[in-house]
């Protein structure tokens, strides 16, 4: 009887924790944020059909994009190295070769017209005491909506085949290092050789100094060093990651991380990079699954046959 009472008390507290305390704590610590499928419904639709040739002329000319951004696939080099760019703008502007495939078209149009609003950074860049480094496009003399649509059409037309590493580099890499992927905010860690006299890898040390300099500047810009994302895919659920990327302010109010504006396809590319670098044994584990199930099926059949043969003799 005494044991039964103890059991009842145990069961009661287990259930209380399971249904009461845990969900309560969970809802306090990770509030539930609804996933909107990268719809960005607060942004205004494009409304015009873009013209690729006119868009190219604007991006290369009156839009001034290549004054700050490289478009390497089109032979446009970066105007500055990452460190100088960070000194000038706070952060290194990303290459625009693949943005048309990674970012949502509506988001891109809104970004060109009003970057601070599209990136959800109004709380940091009020336009009075602090200015965002990328200017809002004021128009090139014609119908501004048309000009924006033209530029988006051009950026989409040049963005073909995005590899996972390009997706990461373009949308996260200027802020987040990825140690497992050998990625730093200023590029891949170079392969260097030790100095034969001092046995020190001088070139690597020089590179690391540049990374540290860049990070110092970045912290002044974002307010906080963006964390290394090597194991983020294991530390955080996908549910968190996609709702957080859709709107960082929903989970970390006041954060300096922008709404990046990924499309669904762009998000999947970024995740595949994070999985490849952070959880490289996942494909092997997944491939093992069917074998394990197969083993259990065969084992069950054998067990049944064995049981049958044993019972036959008993009857």
Among 227, 280, 283, 294, binds ligand HEC (CB under 6 A): 227
Least Cα distance to 170 among 252, 44, 72, 52 occurs for 72
Among 38, 137, 183, 207, binds ligand HEC (CB under 6 A): 137
Q: Tell the smallest beta-carbon distance from residue 240 to ligand HEC (Å).
A: 7
User: Which region among 5-13, 31-39, 167-175, 198-206 touches ligand HEC (by CB under 6 A)?
Assistant: 167-175
CB atoms within 10 A of CB 226: 20
Structure tokens at 100: 């048309």
Q: Does 234 participate in binding ligand HEC (rule CB under 6 A)?
A: no
Binding positions for ligand HEC, 49-68, rule CB under 6 A: 63-65, 67-68
Among 109, 159, 245, 277, binds ligand HEC (CB under 6 A): 245
Among 9, 10, 25, 252, binds ligand HEC (CB under 6 A): 252
- Give the span between the Cα atoms of 30 and 27, in whole angstroms: 5
CB 95 within 8 A of CB 70: yes
Q: List b or e across 297-310, with b for residues whose CB sees 16 or more CB atoms inside 10 angstroms.
A: eeeeeeeeeeeeee
Structure tokens at 173: 């890499």
Among 82, 164, 181, 258, binds ligand HEC (CB under 6 A): 258
Q: Does 116 participate in binding ligand HEC (rule CB under 6 A)?
A: no
The pairs formed by 252-257 with CB atoms below 8 angstroms and a separation of 24 or more are 254/123, 256/121, 256/124, 256/221, 256/222, 256/223, 256/224, 257/175, 257/222, 257/226
- Give the span between the Cα atoms of 56 and 65, in whole angstroms: 11
Binding positions for ligand HEC, 260-299, rule CB under 6 A: 260-262, 270
- Binding footprint of ligand HEC on the chain (CB under 6 A): 63-65, 67-69, 89, 91, 93-94, 96, 99, 103, 111-112, 133-135, 137, 151, 171-172, 174-176, 222, 224, 226-227, 229, 232, 236, 244-245, 252, 255-258, 260-262, 270
């Amino acid at each position: 009887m005494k044991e039964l009472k103890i059991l009842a008390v145990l069961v009661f507290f287990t259930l209380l924790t399971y249904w009461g305390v845990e969900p309560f704590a969970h809802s306090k610590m990770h509030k539930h944020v609804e996933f909107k499928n990268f719809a960005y419904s607060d942004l205004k639709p494009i409304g015009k059909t873009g013209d690729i040739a006119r868009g190219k002329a604007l991006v290369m000319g009156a839009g001034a994009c290549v004054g700050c951004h490289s478009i390497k696939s089109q032979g446009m080099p970066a105007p500055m190295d990452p460190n100088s760019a960070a000194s000038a703008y706070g952060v290194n502007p990303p290459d625009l070769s693949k943005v048309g495939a990674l970012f949502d078209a509506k988001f891109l149009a809104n970004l060109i017209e009003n970057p601070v609003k599209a990136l959800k950074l109004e709380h940091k860049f009020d336009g009075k005491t602090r200015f965002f480094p990328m200017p809002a496009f004021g128009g090139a003399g014609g119908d501004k909506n048309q000009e924006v649509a033209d530029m988006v059409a051009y950026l989409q037309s040049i963005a073909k085949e995005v590899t996972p590493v390009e997706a990461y580099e373009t949308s996260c890499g200027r802020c987040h290092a990825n140690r497992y992927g050998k990625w730093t905010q200023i590029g891949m860690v170079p392969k260097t050789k030790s100095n034969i006299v001092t046995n020190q890898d001088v070139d690597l040390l020089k590179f690391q100094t540049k990374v540290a300099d860049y990070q110092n500047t970045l912290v002044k810009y974002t307010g906080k060093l963006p964390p290394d994302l090597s194991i983020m895919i294991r530390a955080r659920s996908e549910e968190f990651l996609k709702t957080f990327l859709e709107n960082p302010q929903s989970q970390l109010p006041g954060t300096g991380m922008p709404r990046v504006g990924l499309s669904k396809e762009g998000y999947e590319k970024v995740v595949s990079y994070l999985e490849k670098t952070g959880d490289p044994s996942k494909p092997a584990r997944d491939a093992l699954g069917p074998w394990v199930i197969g083993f259990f099926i065969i084992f069950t059949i054998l067990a049944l046959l064995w049981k049958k043969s044993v019972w036959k003799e008993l009857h």
